[in-house]
Amino acid sequence: MLPETSTPLLQMEWWVLLFHYWPVFVSAFAMAIVVTPIMRFTARATGIVDRPDEARKIHTKPIAYLGGVGVLIAVLSGIIVSYTLPQPSFIQPFPLVVILGMFAIGLTGLADDVKEYFDPWWKIAGQFIAAAAMAQQGVGTRVAEGFLRRVLHIPSSVCDYPLISPIDGLLADPITVTYITGILIIAAFILGACNAANLIDGLDGLLSGVVAITCIGFIAITLIVLKSFTVADLENIQAHLPLNTALSNRGEGITLLGANLVLSVSLLGAVLGFLIYNFNPASIFLGDAGSLLLGYLCIVMALMLGEKGETFIVVAGLIVFALPILDTLLAILRRKLAGKAMSEPDSNHIHHILKRKFKSVKKTVFALYGVSSLFCLLGVLLVLAHTTRIVGAWLIYLIAIMIFGGISFVALKAARKHEEAHG
């Protein structure tokens, strides 16, 4: 029986809870080590390789794709193991809709790796399928509620206004303004994160290492939030669950924080195992199947943190994932200023700029690991600032904005200098 007070529900130390998920990590890590060489052999045998490109690619010989398939299998193995672990009654099992999204995005990315002239709209379709599945089960829709009510201060009468009334046997919940906004936010987040990860995947081990650091940040944030989780939080989440989300399929669990730990620990194991083969000099690449999948899983972790409707936790998650986001925003701005099409590739991404400066792939990757670690630390500190009041959250926001702006200024200046030097 749940306690009647507002005391934290989790009565164990954070490290005890984290150690509880060690089989998830070990399973994903071991699976990645075993499966990745098989995918490499398969890719080479079938000609699914990334061939050198003098304009933007630095490798001198064809490198196998299909690394993303190995990561997908490894993450799934960790998730499957999680279903065998006992968990507190208020933590729900890993949601199947996220697994559906993994397959939708992974398969469309794989098709692009296999087929040279694959229609990019199919990749976008896969991302929309993932977003729709998440919205249907209420994963991420509370982010919209927090944004509308706490940021824009829109009254409940407007947020909960039924645009479409419930339909017997077809639609259990009314379609409200919040629900529509939630779908749009989830779709925008997934599209943005998938393509951000795809754009930064330009050097051996860069994306997989950055995602590993991102996972560590999400693990820390999830543990902090979970340690402060109360009965009031539980009732608040339960009151806003969609009626068409069958609790019988979710066991007794309500919160997604346990699922977030499962995903972050499993993904951490998968990318670390894959990084053994992907670090410079890489023998296998993620391909679109892997880069899109990693972007999707990172943003899923951020969205699941928003189940309480507290926008600052989602913002903290976005700060943890800030490096790919920053690189994408700079690419958009850079091409806009140059009058180029958004889809036109160039060699002025952050990793290209640092590669020209350091003359070394390893030095560039380690430098960007450092930048990603800094953003990761800021995201964790932001959650601590809100939950413990040790330091003002405004200070963390200010530091993040200054770093974000400083990197943007230097990167845009270096890109313009390179464009001028090369006509």
pLDDT at 263 exceeding the cut of 80: yes
pLDDT score for 8? 65
| pLDDT score for 335 | 84
Lowest-confidence pick of 39-48, 142-151, 241-250, 374-383: 241-250
- Give residue 249's pLDDT: 39
pLDDT in tens, 406-423: 999 999 998 888 888 776
Q: Give the domain ranges of the chain.
A: 14-316
Q: Tens of pLDDT along 305-326? A: 887 767 888 899 999 999 999 9
pLDDT at 161 over 80: no
- Percent with pLDDT over 90 in the chain: 48
Range 266-281 average pLDDT: 96
Q: What is the model's pLDDT at position 156? A: 74
For every residue of the chain, which 3-state class applies, written as one string?
Answer: CCCCCCCECCCCCHHHHHHHCHHHHHHHHHHHHHHHHHHHHHHHHHCCEECCCCCCCCCCCCEECCHHHHHHHHHHHHHHHHCCCCCCCCECCCCHHHHHHHHHHHHHHHHHHHCCCCCHHHHHHHHHHHHHHHHHCCCCHHHHHHHHHHHCCCCHHHHCCEEECCECCCECCCEEHHHHHHHHHHHHHHHHHHHHHHHHCCCCCHHHHHHHHHHHHHHHHHHHHHHCCEHHHHHHHHHCCCCCCCHHHCCCCCECHHHHHHHHHHHHHHHHHHHHHHCCCCCECCHHHHHHHHHHHHHHHHHHHHHHCCHHHHHHHHHHCHHHHHHHHHHHHHHHHHCCCCCCCCCCCHHHHHHHHHCCHHHHHHHHHHHHHHHHHHHHHHHHHHHHCCCCHHHHHHHHHHHHHHHHHHHHHHHHHHHHHCC
Please say whether the beta carbons of 9 and 88 come within 8 A.
yes
Provide the pLDDT for residue 339.
Answer: 75
Higher pLDDT, 36 or 49: 36
Q: What is the pLDDT, as a whole number, of residue 222?
A: 93
> What tens digit of pLDDT does each residue of 223-253 get?
998 888 777 767 666 665 554 443 333 434 6
Q: Please tell me the predicted confidence (pLDDT) of residue 90.
A: 75
**pLDDT > 90? residue 381:** yes
pLDDT for 261: 93
Q: Residues 275-286: pLDDT tens digits?
A: 999 999 999 999
The pLDDT score that the predictor gives to residue 205 is: 95
Q: What is the pLDDT of residues 123-151, one digit of tens each?
A: 788 888 888 778 777 666 777 777 777 76
Q: Picking from 32-41, 139-148, 358-367, which range would have the lowest pLDDT averaged per residue? A: 139-148
**C-alpha span between 297 and 324 (Å, rounded):** 13
Q: Which of 80-84, 166-170, 181-185, 386-390 ranks highest by mean pLDDT? A: 80-84
Q: Is the pLDDT of residue 401 over 70?
A: yes
User: Given pLDDT bands bounded at 50, 70 and 90, which one contains residue 201?
Assistant: very high
pLDDT band at 56 (very low <50, low <70, confident <90, very high): low
Residue that is written with structure tokens 């009565």 in the block: 11
Exposure string for 182-196, b = 16+ CB within 10 A, e = fewer: bbebbbebbbbbbbb
Q: Give residue 88's Cα distance to chain centre.
A: 25
- The fraction of the chain above a pLDDT of 70, given in percent, is 84
Cβ atoms within 10 Å of 334's Cβ, excluding its own: 18
pLDDT at position 10 over 50: yes
| Average pLDDT of the segment spanning 346-356 | 90
Residue-level pLDDT at 346 = 79
Mean pLDDT of 398-405: 94
What is the band of 370 on the pLDDT scale with cuts at 50, 70, 90? Answer: very high
- 65 pLDDT higher than 60: yes
User: pLDDT grade, residue 2 (50/70/90)?
Assistant: very low
In this prediction, residue 164 carries a pLDDT of: 76
Asked if pLDDT for residue 55 goes beyond 70, the answer is: no
Average pLDDT along the chain: 84
Q: Look at residue 214 in the predicted model and tell me its pLDDT.
A: 97
pLDDT at 241: 57
341, pLDDT greater than 50: yes
